[in-house]
Amino acid sequence: MALTIQSAQTIFSNTQVPSPIPATIALFDQLNVDDQLAYLWYAYTEMGKTITPAAPGAARLQLAEGLLTQIKQMSPEEQTKVMRDLASRADTPISRSYGFFSVNTKLAFWYELGELMKQGLITPIPVGYQMSPGVKVVLEATQKLDQGQQITVLRNTVVDMGFDTSELGPSSYPKADTEPAFPRTTPVISSVKIDGVTEPAVLGYIEAMNADNFDAAIALFTPDGALQPPFQKPIVGQKAIAKYMREEAQGLNMMPKQGICEVQPDGSKQLKITGVVQTPWFGVNVGMNISWRFLINPEGKIFFVAIDMLASPQELMNLRRI
CB of 217 to ligand 45D, least distance (A): 8
From 25-33, 139-147, 148-156, 167-175, give the range in contact with ligand 45D by CB under 6 A: 148-156
Q: Which residues contact 310 (CB under 8 A, 6 or more apart)?
A: 17, 19, 274, 289, 290, 291, 316
Per-position DSSP letters for 213-242, written without gaps between them = -HHHHHTTEEEEEEEE-TTSPPEESHHHHH
Judging by DSSP bridges, how do beta strands 235-236 and 253-263 pair with one another? unpaired
| Phi, psi of 155, rounded to the nearest 5 degrees | -60, -50
Question: Given the complex with ligand 45D, which of 124 and 259 has the nearer CB atom?
Answer: 124
Taking contact as CB under 6 A, which single stretch among the options 13-21, 69-77, 104-112, 262-270 is the one that binds ligand 45D?
Answer: 104-112
The neighbour count for residue 193, using CB atoms within 10 Å, is 11
Q: Which candidate, 259, 252, 250, places its Cα nearest to that of 318?
A: 259
Question: Binder to ligand 45D among 202, 208, 254, 296 (CB under 6 A)?
Answer: 254
Among residue numbers 44 through 63, which ones bind ligand 45D (CB under 6 A)?
44, 53
| Four-residue CA torsion sign, 195, 197, 203, 209 | negative
Please, which of residues 69-88 interact with ligand 45D by CB under 6 A?
A: none
Position among 95, 152, 253, 297 found at the interface with ligand 45D (CB under 6 A) = 152
Q: What is each CA distance from 205 to 44, 138, 221, in whole angstroms?
A: 33, 37, 9
Of 179, 182, 308, 180, residue with least CA distance to 253? 182
Member of 208, 235, 288, 302 binding ligand 45D (CB under 6 A): 288
Packing angle between helix 133-143 and helix 33-47, nearest 10 degrees?
Answer: 30
Stretch that binds ligand 45D, among 34-42, 73-81, 139-147, 171-179 (CB under 6 A): 34-42
Q: Which of 118/267 has CB closer to ligand 45D?
A: 118
Over the window 298 to 317, marking each residue x when it contacts ligand 45D by CB under 6 A and - when it does not, the resulting string is: ---------x----------
CB of 208 to ligand 45D, least distance (A): 10
Task: Write out the residues near ligand 45D by the rule CB under 6 A.
Answer: 37, 40-41, 44, 53, 107, 110-111, 113-114, 117, 124, 151-152, 154-155, 158, 209, 229-230, 248-249, 252, 254, 277, 279, 281, 288, 290, 307
